[in-house]
A and B are shown apart, each in its own frame.
Chain A
Amino acid sequence: MPDLTFAEVGQILRLIQAIDASDVDLEWGDLRLRIRHGEPTVTNGAASTVQEAKSVVPQLKTDAEEPAVTAAPQTEAATEAPQTAAVDEAPIVPDHWVAVAAPMVGTFYRSPKPGEPPYVEAGDVVAAGDTVGLVEVMKLFTELKTDVAGKVARIDAADSALVEFGQPLIWIEPA
């Protein structure tokens, strides 16, 4: 019987984790392994569960070969939950307000960096050419600038919201 290999140890540990049972009896070559929860029990009668355990192993192999890295300790998906656009029913906009619209599809950010205060809040006074937000696409950030001077009348998209091309994001009431 050849010695235990690292590859087999990987499979055994994966197996124990995957079946998530309180009691495990495993025979693998010349190795016998028992895990019991609670009261210790006498080592005996492992044979009946051995077959079962062995039959699980090939399936595990198949799982491991799938090109997904789902079992990675932390995936980006876990930290980057998809954001949905906060497009509420648009309230009425007075005719003279001017929109700063999304120049592209992307993710709208109100602050220059995470944790920093937003470029503008409703009520702020802005000059023409002031940066009022960012739109990110494929990790590239484009500054949103207002063409008109005035007061920020309303902000229509939430921070980190997915926005469409041409979607009004910030309304300016011209001075």
Chain B
Amino acid sequence: MSAKRMRYIDVTTRDGHQSLWATRMTNAMILPIAEQMDRVGFDWINLEGGAVFDVCVRFLHEDPWERMRLVAERVTTTPIDIMTRGQSLFTFRFFADDVVELTIRRIRANGMRRITVYDALNDTRNLELSVRVGKEEGMHVAAALVYTLSPVHTDEYYQRVARELVALGADTVMIKDPSGLLLPDRVRTLVPALKAVIGDVPLELHSHSLSGMAEPCYLEAARLGVDILHTASDPLAGGASLPSTEYCARHLAKEGIESRLDRDGLATMTDYFTGVAHRYGFPLAVPHRFDPDLYRHQVPGGMISNLRVDLKRMNLEDRAEEILAEAEQVRIDLGYPILVSPFAQFVIAQAMLNVLGDERYGTVPDEVAKYVRGYYGRLAGEVDPNVADRVFATGPSEPFEGRAGEVIPPALPELRRERGPFDSDDDLLLAAFYSDQELTGLREARRRGAPVYASAADPLAQLIEGLRSGPAGQTISLQRPGLRLSVVR
């Protein structure tokens, strides 16, 4: 019997910093190590998703398309992966089919070889187009089912979703557990249930360790035949992020589940990203404790801290617990939406309005009403009849049964007419996602010209590179055994 090999997708440069460093990893932090990451032996490297794309444009003023190209120039062996939210791509809005199709084609054109798609309602109709175009482009397509805990999200429910994903043509099926709700006990029923319906299609696991449970879940899932694990380099692993690659590879090897990962390469990555944390003042990952509350309200940690900031701004900090308690009820009333973006915001916003307004559901925000009407896709559970009555009291009396993408008119011709001409399809798509005002910073950064990114062949090279940015008029001398460097500028 040959030893089983676990496959790994590295998420350090995507979910790692999204979960722990507020998505603030720049090209200057990623590119120096990219060539070495290519040689570690990952099956894929995940580079961008909705938050990375968005923060690149709006806060870092780095072109996310350019990041794909720059990394693809350096990572030539390991296929690179981009995650999208299906019909909403990198945002929370639903886009017309022509925008979705062009985006998938541009992901491939910019050197990416895999896409991972998911829909927050697990309505696979919202993934059809992305999967089809991804396959046409010759990419590996991973399709995710989003995990949550509720009376309606049973193993049978997930078997239905997994069958649909395979029917769409997904190359792999992924369990995506964004809030870290998965527990080893559930792994023992869910993984065999899914494997029973997806046959030879590989199964991936992606779980955040918000409650310290992802690590035991990964080990258990590997024993039960999960084929691919999503993991991060040690300084960016665990806690709000995903389990550590080193941790999984080390412990699974003891159980006879091998990997082709190069240990020295992993150690270099750990050293390198620890250096990035030190240099830029980012926190190193800290393991989380088991948090019983999480399984009750299910509100992701990031959202709770956002809520507290918002409430503080309004001098309503003392209402936070009441709002979280109401969020539990709102989630039930709305038919158990999974608390990921954008539905987590919907539930929290509705809970805020219910607590702070004069009556529950006295105000229903437009997006919540659209959700109830089925505009975003099929709901997993039933909406409370009283809430449904409120929503359907105005506007059309019937729920929307179709696929969101099919009722949105094509957007590209109008974009070209109103905001074109564009230098490239990539720019056309940026205009589809962002207003001119939101693109101002990126455009200004482009006018300043592209920086040159050095590769960090070794720590000394990195040090010299780091000293390069000092002010003029400096004299720098550096000495090591066998090396003397003196620079005056």
User: Which of B286, B356, B435 touches A114 (beta carbons < 8 Å)?
Assistant: B435
Q: Does A60 contact B (CB under 8 A)?
A: yes
Tell me whether A140 and B460 are in contact (CB under 8 A): no
Whether A104 touches B357, Cβ cut-off 8 Å, given contacts A31-B479, A140-B367, A142-B363, is yes
Per-position binary interface string of chain A over residues 1-24, scored 1 when its CB falls under 8 Å from any chain B CB and 0 otherwise: 001111111111110100000000
- A106 to nearest B CB, angstroms? 8
Tell me whether B477 and A43 are in contact (CB under 8 A): yes
**A38 partner residues in chain B, CB cutoff 8 A:** 473
Tell me whether B366 and A140 are in contact (CB under 8 A): yes
Per-position binary interface string of chain A over residues 35-53, scored 1 when its CB falls under 8 Å from any chain B CB and 0 otherwise: 1111011010000000000
Tell me whether B474 and A69 are in contact (CB under 8 A): no
Q: Does A68 contact B (CB under 8 A)?
A: yes
Tell me whether A69 and B356 are in contact (CB under 8 A): no
Interface segment, one of A75-83, A87-95, A120-128, A146-154: A75-83
CA gap between A65 and B282 in the complex, in Å? 7
Tell me whether B272 and A6 are in contact (CB under 8 A): yes
Interface segment, one of B70-78, B99-107, B203-211, B346-354: B346-354
**A55 partner residues in chain B, CB cutoff 8 A:** none
Interface segment, one of B108-116, B187-195, B310-318: B310-318
Tell me whether A105 and B272 are in contact (CB under 8 A): no
Tell me whether B352 and A65 are in contact (CB under 8 A): no
- A65 to nearest B CB, angstroms? 6
Instruction: Give B contacts to A, CB under 8 Å.
Output: 21-22, 24, 26, 58-61, 92, 268, 271-272, 274-284, 286, 306-307, 310, 313-314, 316, 342, 345-346, 348-349, 352-353, 356-358, 362-363, 365-368, 435-438, 456, 459-460, 462-463, 466-467, 470-471, 473-481, 488
CA gap between A71 and B24 in the complex, in Å? 10
Tell me whether B283 and A68 are in contact (CB under 8 A): yes
> Which of under 10, 10 to 19, 20 to 34, or 35 or more describes the interface residues of A?
35 or more
**A35 partner residues in chain B, CB cutoff 8 A:** 467, 470, 474-476
CA gap between A76 and B61 in the complex, in Å? 13
Q: Does A143 contact B (CB under 8 A)?
A: yes
CA gap between A152 and B164 in the complex, in Å? 53
Tell me whether A6 and B462 are in contact (CB under 8 A): yes
Tell me whether A104 and B353 are in contact (CB under 8 A): yes
Q: In the complex, given contacts A16-B467, A35-B475, what are 4 additional A-B residue pairs having Cβ atoms less than 8 angstroms apart?
A: A5-B459, A6-B272, A9-B463, A14-B279
> Which A109-157 residues have a C-beta within 8 angstroms of B?
113-115, 137-143
CA gap between A75 and B92 in the complex, in Å? 21
Tell me whether A9 and B459 are in contact (CB under 8 A): yes
CA gap between A7 and B277 in the complex, in Å? 8
CA gap between A4 and B438 in the complex, in Å? 42
CA gap between A9 and B284 in the complex, in Å? 16
**A30 partner residues in chain B, CB cutoff 8 A:** 480-481
23 residue pairs bridging A and B, Cβ less than 8 Å apart: A4-B459, A5-B271, A6-B271, A6-B274, A9-B275, A9-B466, A11-B275, A16-B470, A31-B478, A32-B479, A33-B479, A37-B471, A64-B278, A67-B286, A71-B281, A72-B22, A72-B24, A73-B60, A104-B352, A105-B314, A138-B306, A140-B367, A162-B313
